[in-house]
């Protein structure tokens, strides 16, 4: 579970950091606007916070199943809207990033929904 959290944290931080190549939430909102996502500013913040703060909570094993559901939705939208819809990228692209990585993250999130956090998580301490 902590490995998935680290992966999402690395991908979420540029969406929050205004000094990153993505230009933080403003730049990410512009990308969402180009794809036709409704309320791009709102959803830029939702995804950025999920992929940063949610990733930290996932690393700690706190709220694992709820966060995994959010990550699954995040990856499903990324695959259907961004990769397959807007960018028209095949599963394994030669010249660009395909959506196989997003699919693997979706599968991992679904696995966490069904299996939970594991032995060393904080979820059991809070009855989750």
Percent of the chain with pLDDT strictly greater than 70? 94
Residue 121's pLDDT is: 83
Residue 72: both structure tokens together: 């699954």
Residue 95's pLDDT is: 66
Mean pLDDT value of segment 85-91 = 72
- Tell whether pTM > 0.85: yes
HSE (side-chain half, CA atoms, 13 Å) at 18: 1
Helix (H, G, I), strand (E, B) or coil at 56: helix
Residue 39: both structure tokens together: 């309320």
Residue 56: both structure tokens together: 């930290």
Cα separation of 128 and 122, whole Å? Answer: 9
Domain ranges of the chain: 2-119
pLDDT over 90 at 26, yes or no: yes
Helix (H, G, I), strand (E, B) or coil at 14: helix
Mean pLDDT value of segment 3-17 = 93
CA proximity to 46, closest of 23, 29, 64, 60: 29
CA proximity to 28, closest of 62, 9, 39: 39
Tens digit of each residue's pLDDT (9 = 90 or more) over 41-64? 999 999 999 999 999 999 999 999
Cβ proximity of 90 and 31 under 8 Å: no
More confident residue, 1 or 35: 35
Tens digit of each residue's pLDDT (9 = 90 or more) over 94-113? 666 778 889 999 999 999 99
């Amino acid at each position: 579970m902590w490995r998935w959290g680290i992966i999402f944290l690395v991908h979420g931080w540029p969406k929050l950091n205004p000094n990153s190549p993505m230009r933080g939430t403003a730049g990410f909102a512009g990308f969402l606007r180009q794809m036709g996502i409704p309320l791009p500013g709102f959803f830029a913040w939702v995804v950025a916070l999920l992929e940063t703060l949610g990733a930290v909570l996932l690393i700690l094993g706190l709220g694992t199943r709820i966060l995994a559901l959010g990550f699954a939705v995040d990856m499903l939208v990324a695959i259907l809207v961004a990769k397959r819809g807007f960018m028209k990228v095949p599963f394994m692209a030669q010249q660009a990033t395909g959506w196989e990585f997003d699919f693997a993250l979706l599968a991992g999130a679904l696995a966490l929904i069904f299996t939970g956090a594991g032995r060393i998580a904080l979820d059991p301490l809070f009855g989750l």
